[in-house]
Amino acid sequence: SATTDVPKHILNFITTLFFLLLFTCTLFIVVEVCFIPRKPSFYLNSLSVANFTVSKTKLAGIWAADFTISNPNSAAEISFESIESTVSYKGNDALAITSSENFDVGFRGEKNVEMKFETSGYEGDQPIVEYPVLREIDEERKSTGTVRFGIRLNMWATYKTSYYWGTWRRRVLTHSSCLNLNVGVFAGNGSLIGDDKRYCHVGVMISER
């Protein structure tokens, strides 16, 4: 009878170990995702402007921005959608608006995202820049050779975790601000001053579970 009891002891041990590991993993996921989901990080790697002109009546230009977006969560991937971004003067006055395609960032992953803003000053879907702002931009460019821009991003972010019994989701409204971006402008073209990437402030508003 002793020989027949050994396999049962081993089976019981393996079963207990399996459920213990399953409970530990489930507890880790619940704590990691449900209670303390961490915000994504946004970094601006580069910003350039081309064909930048300012007159008394309008502003025109093409901005190219390169971002790195990282997911610090080890138990949830993040899907970003309905992405809208605005380039502004000093973070206050909108100059151009653009949108971006949806994308996903996996567990502790990173995603490189490029955005292009373009306005000729006449498009109906682009902001109207008033004369006082145009004058201030032109005066700053002429006196310092730089223009201080800002970029804001607004998007929906969905945290997703798959269990063996289904999928957990949490949808949040995410906004990111990259301010005080001094761009040297010469003959209508320029780039961000400094080689270091810029950290962008991130805020989230929980919408639904």
Calculate the dihedral angle through the C-alpha atoms of 171, 173, 179, 185, rounding to the nearest 10 degrees. Answer: 90
Predicted local distance difference test score (pLDDT) of residue 13: 75
Predicted local distance difference test score (pLDDT) of residue 1: 44
> What does the pLDDT profile of the chain (209 residues) look like in tens digits?
444 555 777 777 778 888 788 877 766 666 555 546 789 999 999 999 999 999 999 999 999 999 999 999 988 899 999 999 999 999 899 999 999 999 999 999 999 999 999 999 887 889 999 999 999 999 999 999 999 999 999 999 999 887 666 677 888 999 999 999 999 999 999 999 987 899 999 998 766 55
Predicted local distance difference test score (pLDDT) of residue 3: 46
**Tally of CB atoms within 10 A around 129:** 22
Distance CA(72)–CA(59), nearest Å, equals 39
CA separation (Å) from 129 to 48, 99, 181? 20, 19, 19
Predicted local distance difference test score (pLDDT) of residue 33: 52
Rounded to 5°, angle at Cα 127 from 44 and 64: 30
Predicted local distance difference test score (pLDDT) of residue 200: 96
pTM for this prediction = 0.80
Torsion 121-125-126-128 (CA) sign: positive
Tokens of 25: 């993993």
Tokens of 140: 């700053």
What's the DSSP call for residue 32? I
